[in-house]
Amino acid sequence: MPYTAAEALLSRRDFPALQPRGREPPLVYLDGPGGSQVPSAVIAAIEDVYSTCNVNTHGNFPPSREIDRRMTEAREVVAAFLGAADGSCISFGQNMTTLNFSLSAAIGAGLSPGDEILITQLDHEANRGPWLRLRERGAVIKEVRLTTDGVLDPEDMAAKITPRTKVFALGASSNALGTVNDLALARRLTRAVGALLVVDAVHYAPHFPVDVRALDVDFLLCSAYKFYGPHVGVLYSAPGALDRLSTDRLCTQNPSAPYRIETGTLNHAAIAGVRAAIEYLAHWGRGMSLRERIVDAMTGIAAYEHSLGAYFHGAAAALPGVRVFGPDFSTPARAPTVSITLAARTAAEAASLLGERGICVWDGNFYAARAVEILGLAERGGLLRTGVSLYSTREELDRLLEGLVDIVR
């Protein structure tokens, strides 16, 4: 189903945070990469858990059976979102970073001194720090080079994957530059040496349909607050992959996947909200199955957001004193996140002046600190980032462009 500006306008009614307040002009919320707003259906799903089955799981009484059922169904819905075989591939956690620390520690427990792990200069620290930590266990960490065009150097990637490489931890898309990385190449190279491929899809999942089986990843992480849900981290593990790892867990805990890496009691209400967010996305698509509706909806949303990103990228590049970073929009493989610098202002000054006009855009390094350092922007306070979501409109981008013209004057 095509997702157009009309659907985007319609969608805005579903998001309480986007409603006009009094006589103030509505907030221009363009920090999608930082986190998306939630539709009423998500808020209602969370409230419903607290109102009807706010009890612990695995009890022999009705509300406990009900929360068990909802947790099982939530895993199935997330599996449909990611194209996974079933809910046994889906683990939940506090956020992506925490899950990735648990994952890296579990993988690290099986490494020998001198084993290599490959990370990238482009990734968010959440997919670097947990792996860098394994240096303490004798692992050798290498990083794939980021070019000045904002893409990872494929030759450098190929050269750095060796028979000693045990893991390649790579982002699907950059939250700083909107780059979409070549996961097919990463898979080919890692398969050839028997290394695990761990993909950070936090910035990718809100903007593209995900198909973990087509990508053939071992592990993939994402975070529901970036795709219209609450703050919950999600880990996909290929069938059997989690069961081979030595995770930190209690002897009282279910040792099989997907529970093997889930410590303590989960946030059941928020997880009900994750399911509602995915069902909300699916309702913008057509198809017989939930998976078909999700893929159809995400394909439409991706095309709409791409058109907004391309519009802003072109318009911002044409402004005097503005420099645009990251790849252009000549192919669909480009996330709709556009970062710029201004000759006349630091990113923080610009964000604060735009904030006074009710325009929300983030400044700095967005935890992609290494990428900002490599681009030589760390001293200047990094980038000013604009990121659209399914409810963003061209009018909002025009308000931002007008604001930029005023502040660079």
Ligand X SMILES: Cc1ncc(COP(=O)(O)O)c(C=O)c1O
> Among residues 15 and 204, whose Cβ is nearest to ligand X?
204
> Among residues 26 and 34, whose Cβ is nearest to ligand X?
34
CB of residue 7 vs ligand X: minimum separation in angstroms? 25
CB of residue 179 vs ligand X: minimum separation in angstroms? 11
The two tokens of residue 391 are 């409810």
CB of residue 130 vs ligand X: minimum separation in angstroms? 10
CB of residue 96 vs ligand X: minimum separation in angstroms? 3
How many other CB atoms are found less than 10 A from the CB of residue 286? Answer: 12
**Count of residues that interact with ligand X, criterion CB under 6 A:** 14
124 touches ligand X (CB under 6 A): yes
> Among residues 33 and 327, whose Cβ is nearest to ligand X?
33
- Which pairs count as long-range contacts for 373-380, CB under 8 Å and 24+ apart, including other chains? 374/121, 374/146, 375/146, 375/148, 375/150, 375/325, 377/341, 380/341, 380/346, 380/347
Interface residue with ligand X among 83, 130, 171, 300 (CB under 6 A) is: 171
The two tokens of residue 183 are 């996961």
For residue 366, which of 117, 104, 32, 94 has the smallest C-alpha distance?
Answer: 32
Residues between 180 and 219 with contacts to ligand X, criterion CB under 6 A: 200, 202-203
> Among residues 64 and 95, whose Cβ is nearest to ligand X?
95
Interface residue with ligand X among 36, 175, 181, 365 (CB under 6 A) is: 175
CB 272 within 8 A of CB 351: no
CB of residue 171 vs ligand X: minimum separation in angstroms? 6
233 touches ligand X (CB under 6 A): yes
CB 116 within 8 A of CB 144: no
Residues between 244 and 273 with contacts to ligand X, criterion CB under 6 A: none
> Among residues 171 and 230, whose Cβ is nearest to ligand X?
171
Element holding 362 (H helix, E strand) = strand 362-364
Where does this chain touch ligand X (CB under 6 A) — which range of 56-64, 90-98, 161-169, 320-328? 90-98
Give the three-state DSSP class for 346: coil
CB 197 within 8 A of CB 168: yes
User: Tell me, what DSSP letter sits at residue 285?
Assistant: S
CB of residue 123 vs ligand X: minimum separation in angstroms? 7
> Among residues 117 and 122, whose Cβ is nearest to ligand X?
122
386 touches ligand X (CB under 6 A): no
335 touches ligand X (CB under 6 A): no
> Among residues 166 and 203, whose Cβ is nearest to ligand X?
203
* SS3 per-residue string spanning 199-266: EECCCCCCCCCCCHHHHCCCEEEEEHHHCCCCCCEEEEECCCCHHHCCCCCCCCCCCCCCHHHCCCCC
CB of residue 236 vs ligand X: minimum separation in angstroms? 14
The two tokens of residue 406 are 């005023």
126 touches ligand X (CB under 6 A): yes
Question: What is the contact mask toward ligand X in residues 9 to 38, using x (rule: CB under 6 A)?
Answer: ------------------------x-----
346 touches ligand X (CB under 6 A): no
Interface residue with ligand X among 42, 45, 80, 96 (CB under 6 A) is: 96
Element holding 142 (H helix, E strand) = strand 140-144
Interface residue with ligand X among 36, 88, 104, 223 (CB under 6 A) is: 223
What's the start-to-end Cα distance of the chain, in Å?
42
Interface residue with ligand X among 11, 36, 37, 97 (CB under 6 A) is: 97
Element holding 402 (H helix, E strand) = helix 394-408
Give the three-state DSSP class for 97: helix
CB 399 within 8 A of CB 359: yes
Where does this chain touch ligand X (CB under 6 A) — which range of 93-101, 135-143, 302-310, 397-405? 93-101
Where does this chain touch ligand X (CB under 6 A) — which range of 21-29, 68-76, 92-100, 267-275? 92-100
| Distance in angstroms (rounded) separating the CA atoms of residues 163 and 115 | 9
Place of tokens 């950059």: 174
> Among residues 42 and 404, whose Cβ is nearest to ligand X?
42
Binding site for ligand X (CB under 6 A): 33, 95-97, 124, 126-127, 171, 175, 200, 202-203, 223, 233
